[in-house]
Amino acid sequence: MAKTLAELRPVYVVGVGWHRYQEPTDTPYVQLGLTAVRQALQDARAEWAAVETSYVGTGRLGMASGRPMLSHLGRNEASIVHVENASASGSAAFRHACIEVAAGLADLGLVVGVDKSNGPARVALTQTGVADLARDEIAPFTHFALLTDAYMARHRIGIDEVARVAVKNHRNGAANPNAHRQKVRTLDDVLNGRAVSGKLTTLQCCPVGEGAAAVVIASEDGIRRHGLDAARAIRVASSAAISEIVYPAGVDFDAELTRRVGALAMRQAQVCPADLDVLELHDAFAIEELQYLEALGVCGPGEAAARLKAGAYDIGGELAVSPSGGLIAMGHPLGPTGVGQIGEIAMQLRGEAGARQQRDAKTGLAHMVGLGAVAYAHVLRRD
């Protein structure tokens, strides 16, 4: 019978680093990535020469982007694996690096997500040669505007209840030096922003720019052999990944993917939604946070908006949801996003998140969806 990550040897996050997510610039991707990698290695107090495997998550950079970037760190003949999985590219890279360390094939690994949004990405599903009018004509923001309307009608709430997601996440991002958006926004600011589609405004949608995030992972043997600080190591309690199925009519596939992958990750880690202290969600659009809180079992159907308004999901509330600022404020450069979520949760569980710190945080979950086709969830715990 197949094993889960929890049944293999333990894997720990021992170092984290970022290059701030930002609007597109002329900065080379190599510089973005190296900034995050060097910070992560320094945070781990690990040497580049000791890294035995590297995984690079990107969505837009093209083939073999990792070697010309990592070669600037000095000699290292270890393997480099490039991972593309849409918005979940960084999450997928992290999962497979963890699998390699958990299997005993490496003791020290690096995961880096890096991307630049220089022009539109060529999405494979638009290049299949098979006619699909709906996919060709319904843009993502229109899809989520329609979901927003349907959710509001079903649960009898107004757009102000949905927009509070963005207010919270902009507030969190304002306290994050690595966030793309670092400005507190009022409810009026969010509602009166430039219209995008339906009732969605720009401040309810994630910015897609550039940036990088990196984490160093290690086994217990690696921590001991390289003299790393075990007290700051955060255990990867589970890693779950699934892909889409054929859904019945009317089923929201992103929420269904979230429900399935979240339940799988929590079951593998032997935790339940009530055990979570920190949750980093794929909130590319504000409505997604409400949908996914309910899909993960954090609250019942239709309850997320009221719980949000009551402050339950603020930093300092019962569950800090997207304390990084989420995709809405932290940003969504594609490749780095899932890696950055892991870094944020690791900082939270170490107690090193500063103004964003959730008190006594011990368990966190990171969640990403890729084009509605794949989903990833990781549970991290402070031993």
pLDDT of residue 187 exceeding 70: yes
CA angle 290, 309, 149 (to 5 degrees): 40
Question: Distance from CA of residue 117 to its chain's centroid?
Answer: 17
Identify whether residues 273 and 354 lie together within a single domain.
Answer: yes
Q: Report the predicted TM-score, pTM, of the whole model to 2 decimal places.
A: 0.95
**Which pLDDT does position 142 carry in this prediction?**
85
Which DSSP state fits 285?
B
**Which pLDDT does position 126 carry in this prediction?**
63
**Which pLDDT does position 137 carry in this prediction?**
55
Count of all residues that appear for the chain in the document? 383
What is the C-alpha to C-alpha distance for residues 285 and 282, in angstroms, rounded to an integer?
Answer: 8
**Which pLDDT does position 117 carry in this prediction?**
82
Identify whether residues 337 and 351 lie together within a single domain.
Answer: yes
Percentage helix, strand, coil for the chain under 3-state DSSP, each rounded to 5 = 40, 20, 40
Asked if 268 contacts 6 with a C-beta cutoff of 8 angstroms, the reply is yes
Nearest to 82 by CA among 58, 114, 51: 58
Report, as an integer, the average pLDDT of 71-85.
95
Neighbouring C-beta atoms of residue 249, cutoff 10 Å: 4
Nearest to 341 by CA among 261, 276, 282, 256: 282
**Which pLDDT does position 318 carry in this prediction?**
97
If DSSP codes are grouped into helix, strand and coil, which group holds residue 337? Answer: helix
Count structural domains, the chain. 2
**Which pLDDT does position 123 carry in this prediction?**
63
Domain extent, residue 314, equals 136-206+238-381
**Which pLDDT does position 144 carry in this prediction?**
85
Residue pLDDT, tens place only, 93-150 = 999 999 999 999 999 999 999 999 875 456 665 665 666 655 555 677 788 888 899 9
Read off the CATH number of the domain in which 261 is found.
Answer: 3.40.47.10
Identify whether residues 273 and 299 lie together within a single domain.
Answer: yes
Identify whether residues 244 and 223 lie together within a single domain.
Answer: no
- If you average pLDDT over each of 137-146, 148-157, 176-185, which comes out highest? 176-185
Share above pLDDT 70 across residues of the chain, in percent, rounded to a whole number: 95
Higher pLDDT, 92 or 250: 92
Identify the bridge partners of residue 238 per DSSP, sorted by sequence position: 379
If DSSP codes are grouped into helix, strand and coil, which group holds residue 79? Answer: strand
Amino acid (1-letter code) at residue 237 = A
Average pLDDT over all residues of the chain: 94
Identify whether residues 308 and 248 lie together within a single domain.
Answer: yes
Identify whether residues 63 and 142 lie together within a single domain.
Answer: no
**Which pLDDT does position 367 carry in this prediction?**
98
Identify whether residues 168 and 154 lie together within a single domain.
Answer: yes
**Which pLDDT does position 170 carry in this prediction?**
98
Identify whether residues 47 and 95 lie together within a single domain.
Answer: yes
pLDDT of residue 286 exceeding 90: yes
